[in-house]
Amino acid sequence: MNGRVKSDERQDEKTTRRDFMSAAAMVAAFTIVPSHVLGGPGRVPPSEKLNIAGVGIGGRGAGDLHEVGSENIVALCDVDDKYAANVFKSYPRAKKYHDFRVMLDKEKNIDAVVIATPDHTHAVIAMDAIKRGKHVYCEKPLAHSIYEVRKLTEAAHQAGVATQLGNQGQASEGTRLVSEFIQAGAIGQVREVHSWCNRPISPRGIDRPKDTPHVPKTLNWDLWLGPAPRRPYHPCYLPFSWRGWWDFGTGVLGDIGCHQLVSIFRALKLGYPTSVEACSSVVNSETAPLASIVRYDFPAREGMPPVKLTWYDGGLMPARPKELEEGLRFGNADDNLFIGEKGKMLGHRLLPEARSKEYGRPPKVLPRSPGHHKEWINACKGGEPAGSNFDLSGPLTEVVLLGNVALRMGQQLYEKGLKLYYDGPNMKVTNLPEANKYIHSQYRKGWSL
Amino acid sequence: MGNKTRQNVVSDGRISRRDFMGAAAAVAAFTVVPRHVLGGPRQIPPSEKVNIAGVGVGGQGGGDINAVSSQNIVALCDVDWNRAGGTFRRYPKARKYKDFRVMLDKEDKNIDAVVVATPDHVHAVASIAAIKRGKHVYCEKPLTHLVYEARMVAEAAREHKVATQMGNQGQASEGTRLMCENIWGGGIGLVREVHVWTDRPLRGLSDVYWPQGVGRPEDAPQAPDTLDWDLWLGPAPRRPYHPAYVPFKWRGWWDFGTGALGDIGCHSIDPVWRALKLKAPLSVHAACTLVNNETYPVASRVTYQFGARGDMPPVKLHWYDGGMRPPRPDELDDGQTFGDNGTMFVGDKGKMLGYRIIPESRRKEFGNAPKVLERSPGHHQEWINACKGGKPAGSNFDHAGPLAECVLLGNVALRPAIKEKLTRVNLLWDSANMKITNVPEANQYLHRQYREGYSL
């Protein structure tokens, strides 16, 4: 398993990295070089608590902060006073901010930042934090565009900060079992995988509203927009339903793909695909579709043949495998189906039931996780990199977001009789140049990475 | 081809059938047995014209009537005289009606045959009323609104020995014959998987033909003066008029239409049915977007499992609509379009898109399949010929009934109440007994209660 091997290597380098960091900190103390140029994080010994700031705390952010509640929550930032009110109350000693830039300027004692804003502001916030040498926990998907993800991955790597993407399933027993079954050859070589999720749960395939209600007094709409193009406030965007709007969210694939594809990526050691195609219900320049199917072709990897990965959302899913006995659930909520040359696996359960019983458990070769958020806390204190550190979750997120590029090009693709051919390392669609406009989102004046 | 064989047999028996019919007519003249019990149609010599009535003539019906206008168009019936105006004007000598029941009563002696092109929910009651009076029937696809109706209509047509044709005109095409001949000639080997797809109810990816996935409107506008809303509803449960239903958009509503699958399935699954000699499926499964009890879902995938037929192995047929498609086959070269509507056969020696074998190398290697099927004189002409004692039309109800049943069974799997059940099972289908055997509550969707005044 790629990711795991890499983590182990890094664990061996741990001491070195910590020594270097502390040296860097000493240099900093005697010079006037701003910390973001050096990019080194402050050293926090395991015995001490981290000083954590949260950005975007009203929704998922509240849960993330709770998960890192063993540390000091020193500052909280949200653009929506009403949505965040309860969370602000839960941490009375934390300083409150609306603008993360102001918070990062003023709060010199922050070690780490937890980001759980809408997708379109992940990158600018994470990049600012990384450049200041802060450790970063960022909700999935890592960013709104492929370009942003790449820049964040590079910056975090260079700065040596501890990072974790919010795809907590990566830390689960199930994710490890998937890899161990595949590694043990339980279903033979895998050439086909299906993954599905029954979201969305907010409206899709719709146009921009024409009415322009007043912005609530408790909301800073301009800061909510952040780097996205200006548009009038409307309650159809927030909270939560921004996920369906291309300017802010990344559809179901962005919402769930980083969760659900991670076990596939690890088990099959996936990198960049060679091509991708997509079909869907109504997709327009404003919103993601209600339902879609995205198909990726991955090339052969060390000892593994090429594999086709199909993603379904909106309630679509593959046909029920004949190996699954009548009465056993083949649910539409979310799952993964691996088709191997020697058998099939649903999630981490071998099919049919008889085969699962006969086979039992695969050899336990992968280390287990202390918990997804704990992994990151440990990494912030000099421990080994977290399981979804950006070196691993960056490429995963890029592949997820590439699916959205294909969705937005869907009509043109079938009219032209093409799949999108993709040059992963260079972040480029090679056979349909128009598609490349979706690799990066344009920022409003005043915003940059 | 099973169907073709049957047609030939029937065709060979043509003279006897005509003799029998002649005899039956003679008997009828001397008894008081009502005609619908005997059910024999009038014998029409090829030199004479068929006297045709149309039911539902404003939309596709107008086109169907034009396609049989070489015959006598003697009566036209539509519940919306405004929408039917164009057709009425083209046939000024035809008498006009609003209620097909009244028309059949009054014109019984004057008509030989009926063309039915109403919304789906009226097909069965209109067709059966005509069949029981011994009228030949051309009925638009899908044959009916529900599975049970398709079975009843096909049985009635058989019993009354009328000439029938369903409105899936593609069955008469060269393409359908080439698909069959390529498969039977071994062009792609044995077929275990077929994909059929349409972008409907979408038009491309931005516009829609008709809405699905929506709820019932709450306002109740006045029906136009030219529309008899009660007759439009026909056997369907009463509800207030709304322009969300007529014209055309009824296709998306459970009570009236049959969704994208019903609209297109009888067209595009027909050649698959013939080429693979399909009979009733063993099971059906579906996955789709959010469901409601008013309209069909925005997008769906329906999978049918068919058993082995003769030398042909079991086969899975996957249906996709609402913009969903199967994977683009690797055998296609860049720039070869895959299309927003299509059919793909996956054989063990190659694939076939429509009737085009891919990859190109396999197509060239195989060449042209032997031409074993008779070509059609034209879809509507087939029916006219059959009405005059010629051989049965290509989509006569013995063929179209089971095909329509299969298509409509897919809609049962899309019913909201069945969705959760389908996470644990496929719907197992006992065709002989017309019964879903493992999810008893699904059987209620095979038929429905009609409003008073309507029956099969």
Q: Which of A289, A332, A417 shows the shortest C-beta gap to B334?
A: A417
- Kindly determine whether residue B205 and residue A416, on different chains, have CB atoms separated by under 8 Å: no
In a domain, A230, yes or no: no
Closest listed residue to residue B279, CA positions, set B431, B151, B445:
B431
Closest listed residue to residue B44, CA positions, set B394, B390, B398, B392:
B390
Q: What are phi and psi of A398, to 5 degrees?
A: -60, -45
Distance CA A346, CA A349 (A): 5
Q: What is the pLDDT of residue A42?
A: 67
Q: What is the pLDDT of residue B285?
A: 96
- The H or E element that residue B362 is part of is helix B360-366
Q: Under DSSP, is residue B276 helix (H, G, I), strand (E, B) or coil?
A: coil
Closest listed residue to residue A264, CA positions, set A184, A177, A200:
A177
- Kindly determine whether residue A281 and residue B301, on different chains, have CB atoms separated by under 8 Å: no
Q: Are B163 and B383 in contact (CB under 8 A)?
A: yes
For residue B339, which residues of chain A lie inside 8 Å, CB to CB? 414
Q: Are A150 and A127 in contact (CB under 8 A)?
A: no
Region B224-253 average pLDDT: 96
Region B21-44 average pLDDT: 51
Distance CA B400, CA B396 (A): 6
Instruction: Evaluate if residue A291 carries a pLDDT over 80.
Output: yes
Same domain, A288 and A418: yes
Q: Are B203 and B340 in contact (CB under 8 A)?
A: no
Of A375 and B36, the structure prediction assigns the larger pLDDT to A375
Instruction: Evaluate if residue A4 carries a pLDDT over 90.
Output: no
In a domain, A44, yes or no: yes
- Kindly determine whether residue B325 and residue A308, on different chains, have CB atoms separated by under 8 Å: no
Same domain, A81 and A180: no
Burial class (CB in 10 A: 0-12, 13-18, 19+), B370: exposed
Which CATH code fits B172-374+399-446? 3.30.360.10
Distance CA A104, CA A55 (A): 10
Residue A304 to residues A190, A272, A344, B450: CA-CA distances in angstroms? Answer: 8, 14, 16, 59
- Kindly determine whether residue A291 and residue B206, on different chains, have CB atoms separated by under 8 Å: no
Looking at residue B52, its amino acid is: I
Query: What is the pLDDT of chain B when averaged over all its residues?
Result: 91
Same domain, A166 and A179: no
Domain that holds residue A430: 172-204+235-367+388-438
pLDDT range class, residue A40, cuts 50, 70, 90:
low
The token pair at A196 is: 């599905």
Residue A284 to residues A206, A207, B41, B395: CA-CA distances in angstroms? Answer: 8, 8, 55, 40
Distance CA A367, CA A384 (A): 12
The token pair at B395 is: 């989509």
Region A111-121 average pLDDT: 98
Using a CB–CB cutoff of 8 Å, tell me whether B299 touches chain A.
yes
Instruction: Evaluate if residue A9 carries a pLDDT over 50.
Output: no
Q: Which residues contact B429 (CB under 8 A, 6 or more apart)?
A: B280, B281, B282, B283, B284, B409, B435, B436, B437
Same domain, A135 and A261: no
For residue B323, which residues of chain A lie inside 8 Å, CB to CB? 279-282, 289, 291, 410
Using a CB–CB cutoff of 8 Å, tell me whether B318 touches chain A.
yes
Q: Are A204 and A290 in contact (CB under 8 A)?
A: yes
Instruction: Evaluate if residue B229 carries a pLDDT over 90.
Output: yes
- The H or E element that residue B157 is part of is helix B147-160
Distance (Å) from the C-alpha of residue B437 to the closest C-alpha of chain A?
13
Write the pLDDT tens digit of every residue in B413-432: 999 999 999 999 999 999 99
pLDDT range class, residue A441, cuts 50, 70, 90:
confident
For residue A332, which residues of chain B lie inside 8 Å, CB to CB? 287, 419, 423
- Kindly determine whether residue B335 and residue A410, on different chains, have CB atoms separated by under 8 Å: no
Distance CA A349, CA A368 (A): 19
pLDDT range class, residue B40, cuts 50, 70, 90:
confident
For residue A329, which residues of chain B lie inside 8 Å, CB to CB? 423-424
Q: Which of B289, B340, B426 shows the shortest C-beta gap to A281?
A: B289
In a domain, A17, yes or no: yes
pLDDT range class, residue A180, cuts 50, 70, 90:
very high
For residue B354, the Cα-to-chain-centroid distance in whole angstroms is: 20
Distance CA B37, CA B16 (A): 20
For residue A331, which residues of chain B lie inside 8 Å, CB to CB? 423
Residue of A nearest to B199 (CA): A281
Instruction: Evaluate if residue A399 carries a pLDDT over 90.
Output: yes
Same domain, A287 and A253: yes
Residue of A nearest to B427 (CA): A326
Closest listed residue to residue B401, CA positions, set B412, B409, B413:
B409
- Kindly determine whether residue B325 and residue A293, on different chains, have CB atoms separated by under 8 Å: yes
Instruction: Evaluate if residue B327 carries a pLDDT over 90.
Output: yes
Same domain, A186 and A329: yes
For residue A281, which residues of chain B lie inside 8 Å, CB to CB? 202, 205, 289, 298-299, 322-324
Looking at chain A, the whole-number percentage of residues with pLDDT higher than 70 is 91
- Kindly determine whether residue B423 and residue A414, on different chains, have CB atoms separated by under 8 Å: no
Distance CA B178, CA B184 (A): 10
Distance (Å) from the C-alpha of residue A416 to the closest C-alpha of chain B?
6
pLDDT range class, residue B355, cuts 50, 70, 90:
very high
Of A3 and A441, the structure prediction assigns the larger pLDDT to A441
Q: What is the pLDDT of residue A6?
A: 36
Query: What is the pLDDT of chain A when averaged over all its residues?
Result: 91
Please state whether the peptide bond connecting residue A352 to the residue before it is cis, i.e. omega within 30 degrees of 0: yes
Same domain, A140 and A271: no
Single pTM value for the model: 0.89
Instruction: Evaluate if residue A91 carries a pLDDT over 60.
Output: yes
Using a CB–CB cutoff of 8 Å, tell me whether B213 touches chain A.
yes
Same domain, A101 and A147: yes
Looking at residue B79, its amino acid is: V
Distance (Å) from the C-alpha of residue A334 to the closest C-alpha of chain B?
12
Distance CA A166, CA A176 (A): 17
Closest listed residue to residue A279, CA positions, set B259, B198, B265:
B198
Region A264-268 average pLDDT: 98
Q: Residue A282 CB: number of other CB atoms within 10 A?
A: 22
CA angle, corner B87, sides to B82 and B91, nearest 5?
Answer: 125
Same domain, A349 and A429: yes
In a domain, A107, yes or no: yes
Distance CA A130, CA A165 (A): 14
Region B112-135 average pLDDT: 98
Residues for chain B: how many in total? 456
The residue with tokens 């058989």 is B158
Residue of A nearest to B332 (CA): A417
Distance (Å) from the C-alpha of residue A423 to the closest C-alpha of chain B?
17
Looking only at the bridges linking them, the beta strands covering A307-313 and A292-298 are: antiparallel
- The H or E element that residue B380 is part of is helix B379-387
Candidates A193, A195, A281, A415, partner chain B, best to mutate (most B CBs within 10 A): A281
Distance CA A235, CA A226 (A): 17
pLDDT range class, residue B176, cuts 50, 70, 90:
very high
For residue B297, which residues of chain A lie inside 8 Å, CB to CB? 315
Residue of B nearest to A330 (CA): B423
Candidates A201, A317, A320, partner chain B, best to mutate (most B CBs within 10 A): A320
In a domain, A163, yes or no: yes
Q: Are B173 and B394 in contact (CB under 8 A)?
A: no
Distance CA B315, CA B295 (A): 30
Domain holding A408: CATH number? 3.30.360.10
Q: Residue B442 CB: number of other CB atoms within 10 A?
A: 23
For residue A410, which residues of chain B lie inside 8 Å, CB to CB? 205, 323
The token pair at B20 is: 């029998």
Same domain, A111 and A91: yes
Q: Which residues of A make CB contacts under 8 Å with B?
A: 205, 277, 279-284, 289-291, 293, 295, 308, 310, 312, 314-317, 319-320, 326-332, 410-411, 414-419, 431
CA angle, corner B78, sides to B72 and B81, nearest 5?
Answer: 110
Looking at chain B, the whole-number percentage of residues with pLDDT higher than 70 is 91
Count of CB pairs separated by less than 8 Å, A with B: 111
Distance CA B138, CA B333 (A): 42
Helix axes of B14-29 and B2-12: crossing angle, nearest 10 degrees: 60
Using a CB–CB cutoff of 8 Å, tell me whether B284 touches chain A.
no
Which CATH code fits B2-170? 3.40.50.720
Same domain, A119 and A187: no
Instruction: Evaluate if residue A19 carries a pLDDT over 90.
Output: no
Residues 414-433 of chain B whose Cβ lies under 8 A from any Cβ of chain A: 419, 423-426
In a domain, A394, yes or no: yes
Distance (Å) from the C-alpha of residue B358 to the closest C-alpha of chain A?
14
List strand residue ranges (DSSP E) for A314-384, in order: 334-340, 343-346, 349-351
Q: What is the pLDDT of residue A12?
A: 35
Q: What are phi and psi of B148, to 5 degrees?
A: -60, -40
List strand residue ranges (DSSP E) for B229-278, in order: none
Looking only at the bridges linking them, the beta strands covering B283-288 and B427-430 are: antiparallel
Q: Which residues contact A86 (CB under 8 A, 6 or more apart)?
A: A62
Distance CA B58, CA A154 (A): 65
Query: What residue spans in chain B does CATH classification 3.40.50.720 cover?
Result: 2-170
Distance (Å) from the C-alpha of residue A319 to the closest C-alpha of chain B?
7
Query: Final residue of a domain: which of A149, A170, A191?
Result: A170
Distance (Å) from the C-alpha of residue B369 to the closest C-alpha of chain A?
27
For the stretch B77-80, contacts whose Cβ atoms lie closer than 8 Å and that sit 24 or more positions apart, written own/partner, are B77/B53, B77/B103, B78/B54, B79/B227, B79/B228, B79/B229, B79/B231, B79/B232, B80/B224, B80/B226, B80/B227, B80/B228, B80/B232, B80/B246, B80/B247
Distance (Å) from the C-alpha of residue A195 to the closest C-alpha of chain B?
14
Using a CB–CB cutoff of 8 Å, tell me whether B338 touches chain A.
yes
Q: Are A309 and A195 in contact (CB under 8 A)?
A: yes
Domain holding A8: CATH number? 3.40.50.720
Q: How many domains does chain A have?
A: 2
Instruction: Evaluate if residue B3 carries a pLDDT over 50.
Output: no
Task: Give the strands of the sheet with B283-288, arranged side by side.
Answer: B356-358, B351-353, B342-347, B191-197, B315-321, B300-306, B283-288, B427-430, B435-436
Q: Which of B322, B325, B332 shows the shortest C-beta gap to A291?
A: B322
Distance (Å) from the C-alpha of residue A60 to the closest C-alpha of chain B?
25
Sign of the CA dihedral running A8, A10, A12, A18: negative
Distance (Å) from the C-alpha of residue A192 to the closest C-alpha of chain B?
12
Same domain, A312 and A180: yes
For residue A416, which residues of chain B lie inside 8 Å, CB to CB? 335, 337
Instruction: Evaluate if residue A29 carries a pLDDT over 60.
Output: no
